[in-house]
Chains A and B, each alone.
Chain A
Amino acid sequence: MLKQVRSVPNTSRRQESLMQSKAFKSVIYWLVLSPIVILTLFPYAVMITTALKPAAEVYSNPPTWFGSHLEWGNFAKVWQLGFGQNMLNSIWVTVAATFLALLVSFPAAYSLSRFNHSRRFTGFYRQFLLVTQMVSPIIITVGIFKVVATLKLIDSFTPLILIYATFNIAFCTWMLQSYFNTIPGELEEAAWIDGCSRFQSFIHIFLPLALPASAIAALFSFIYCWNEFVLAFLVLRTPEHATITMRVFSLVGGRYTVEWEQVMAAAVLATLPMVLMFVFLQRQIIRGLAMGSIK
């Protein structure tokens, strides 16, 4: 029970309208958010300004934010190191794994959402999916390495695609199922009464409504695969086969002198596609997640 509050706070009308005006609220909110906004944007600023510095000025002492001029050549340099190929590798692995993940998650989510499974079974299946989230790549490094080596698939993309897809099944299924639950079943039932088969109603009624959610599930799988590092590090060997994330790390890891302007230029290249996607799809992403938040 909520306590009764005896009197409404005694504020003058003008003050109230000021306190509640959208502009006033906005200023306060932005002030409260400013530390996190600054901390979030800080690494991007570091990344971009360093990527545009002339090599000779990167280790300048005292350090400066900007070099004497904008050195766009850093991007050309990393491109010449073969980063284009690494981008293509990332795109191939990411697209294939995402497609595969959706290919198995979509039917699973449809089944969980539309057929009468016992509560116990649904509970069990969701528990099982949670366990697959615990089995992170790094924990089973030894196991994966042995299996991949036995199958002679070291330095090939096949195991990466398979494993990435599998790690995304849980999240995609959760998200799709919650979303499917919000699509009224009556729509399909009405179609059955009109003589549609289950398959026909699926194609003509369910699928068009389910596609936007699938696109968002795909986006999340996409982000995971594009950014993954541990498995790529484990399975891929040659620089030509490396994914873009792995290649960026290889410019830093285990080296004594690091050409930071090149590393940052590469980081910008690897980051740009995802950031652009995020900026353009921000609204859909949040809506999709709100739907998919596992209930």
Chain B
Amino acid sequence: MKQEKFSATALLFPSLLMALIVLGYPVLELLNTSTHSVNKFFNVGDFVLFQNYLNLFQDEFFRAALVRTLWWTLGVVGGTVFLSFPIALILNEEFYGQALARTIILLPWAVSLTIMAVVWRWALNGESGLLNLTLQSLGITHDRIQWLAEASTSFPMSILIGVLVSIPFCVTVLLGGLSSLQKDVYEAARVDGATGLLMFRHITLPMMKPFISIAVVLNVIYVFNSFPILWVLTEGGPVNSTDVLVTYLYKATSAKFFGDPGKGAALGIIMLIMLLIFSLVYARVAKEGDEVRA
């Protein structure tokens, strides 16, 4: 019995240790840096407690980026879940070309966000871009839209691309959920005379709740932290109009931009805390929802 317990722990130990060291140590280093004055070459100076954090909040660009991050996360995750649900429902049915449809919709997953963003940056080019060409030949617009040159088009476009690349993961999680639903529940409901919509509201939706939760939580974490799309498309420009927290963090840290790693470190800690609070609140809400239903 004792040996059993030992091997149970011993098998878990390597993964625990690795995560603690490889991720934990940089986090400690981050905490340390965020409370010291640091020059652009990462040389750590005096202990300044919360000065870096205060500097951060006094910066209007930071506050703007904070608000924009909320829109970015809400827009991408909301759009992704909203579109993925019907897609997953369809892909879960049997029809001609189902395997092909699944492959196409999952395809963006196999491509790095960076490369996807590089391709879109070219497609959105105002003069020679193929999106304008396509829209023009379909008669949707006659102008050459400079998609990435103005905040009014570049930010919504970034969100749209964010949704497109997030759909595969979300659809797969939901598909996993749908395929695990038991068929006999539907049979029983059908015998009772329930129709499609009714079954959807009273069976599919409640049974899918845990999967929707997973999709939402993981997507919020990934999207909140997502750097490549906005960076490759606009580098946070024009004039900081698409800066979110991650791009701001990168600019704060990099010597090429503000060169203030202390600020970058403080922001990293703040973002970690924001994500932790989100997960805790979400876990609480999801749990309460379960208890109400039970």
| Residues of A bordering B, CB below 8 Å | 2-6, 8-9, 22-23, 25-26, 29-30, 32-33, 36-37, 39-47, 49-50, 58-65, 103-105, 107-108, 110-112, 115-117, 125, 128-136, 138-147, 149, 162-163, 165-166, 169-170, 173, 198, 223, 226-230, 245-246, 248-249, 252-253, 258, 260, 263-264, 267, 270-271, 274-275, 277-279, 282-283, 285-286, 289-295
Contact B29 A143 (CB under 8 A): yes
Q: Which residue of B lies closest to A169 (CB)?
A: B15
Q: Which residue of A lies closest to B161 (CB)?
A: A43
Please pick, from B7, B172, B194, the residue contacting A2 in the complex, using a CB distance under 8 A.
B194
Q: Which residues from A are CB-within-8-Å of B211?
A: 293
Q: Which residues from B are CB-within-8-Å of A277?
A: 110
Contact B114 A282 (CB under 8 A): no
User: With the chains together, A279 CA to B107 CA distance in Å?
Assistant: 8
What is the minimal beta-carbon distance from B80 to any residue of chain A, in angstroms? 11
B180 at the interface (CB under 8 A from A): yes
Q: Which residue of B lies closest to A292 (CB)?
A: B176
What is the minimal beta-carbon distance from B51 to any residue of chain A, in angstroms? 16
Contact A37 B101 (CB under 8 A): yes
In the A-B complex, the 9 residue pairs with the closest CB atoms: A293-B176, A143-B26, A227-B112, A115-B8, A143-B30, A136-B225, A111-B11, A107-B11, A274-B110
B193 at the interface (CB under 8 A from A): yes
Contact B276 A166 (CB under 8 A): no
Number of interface residues of B (CB under 8 A): 104
Please pick, from B23, B195, B250, the residue contacting A138 in the complex, using a CB distance under 8 A.
B250
Q: Give the interface SS of chain B, mostly helix, strand, loop or mixed.
A: helix
Contact A29 B90 (CB under 8 A): yes
**Which residues of chain B in 239-276 are interfacial with respect to chain A, using CB atoms and an 8 Å cutoff?**
246, 249-250, 253, 261, 264-265, 268, 271-272, 275-276
B61 at the interface (CB under 8 A from A): no
Q: Which residue of B lies closest to A229 (CB)?
A: B114
What is the minimal beta-carbon distance from A106 to any residue of chain B, in angstroms? 9
Q: Which residues from A are CB-within-8-Å of B235?
A: 253
B149 at the interface (CB under 8 A from A): no
Contact A142 B268 (CB under 8 A): yes
Q: Which residues from A are CB-within-8-Å of B111?
A: 227, 271, 274-275
Q: Which residues from B are CB-within-8-Å of A138?
A: 225, 227, 246, 249-250
B221 at the interface (CB under 8 A from A): yes
User: With the chains together, A84 CA to B245 CA distance in Å?
Assistant: 35
User: With the chains together, A65 CA to B189 CA distance in Å?
Assistant: 52
Contact A29 B95 (CB under 8 A): yes
* Given A22-B95, A140-B30, A253-B232, A50-B25 contact (CB < 8 Å): no
Please pick, from B110, B118, B222, the residue contacting A249 in the complex, using a CB distance under 8 A.
B118
* Given A40-B107, A278-B110, A108-B228 contact (CB < 8 Å): no
Please pick, from A108, A229, A292, the residue contacting B14 in the complex, using a CB distance under 8 A.
A108
What is the minimal beta-carbon distance from B251 to any residue of chain A, in angstroms? 11
Contact A270 B225 (CB under 8 A): no
B48 at the interface (CB under 8 A from A): no
* Given A5-B198, A293-B177, A282-B97 contact (CB < 8 Å): no
9 contacts between A and B (CB under 8 A): A30-B101, A32-B90, A59-B127, A110-B11, A115-B4, A141-B250, A223-B110, A258-B122, A294-B214
Q: Which residues from A are CB-within-8-Å of B134?
A: 42
* Given A25-B95, A142-B33, A143-B26, A4-B192 contact (CB < 8 Å): yes
Contact A141 B264 (CB under 8 A): yes
Contact B253 A142 (CB under 8 A): yes
Please pick, from B250, B265, B271, the residue contacting A143 in the complex, using a CB distance under 8 A.
B265
Q: Which residues from A are CB-within-8-Å of B9?
A: 111
Contact A143 B110 (CB under 8 A): no
Contact B23 A135 (CB under 8 A): yes
Contact A5 B11 (CB under 8 A): no
User: With the chains together, A284 CA to B197 CA distance in Å?
Assistant: 31
Interface string of B92-112 (1 = CB under 8 A from A): 011111010111111111111
Contact A5 B123 (CB under 8 A): no
B237 at the interface (CB under 8 A from A): no
User: With the chains together, A49 CA to B34 CA distance in Å?
Assistant: 47
**Besides A117-B8, A131-B279, 17 other CB < 8 A contacts?**
A30-B95, A40-B104, A42-B131, A59-B127, A63-B130, A104-B14, A115-B8, A132-B23, A138-B249, A140-B30, A141-B250, A166-B19, A170-B19, A173-B15, A229-B228, A278-B107, A290-B180
Q: Which residue of A lies closest to B220 (CB)?
A: A134
* Given A2-B202, A134-B272, A290-B179, A282-B15 contact (CB < 8 Å): no
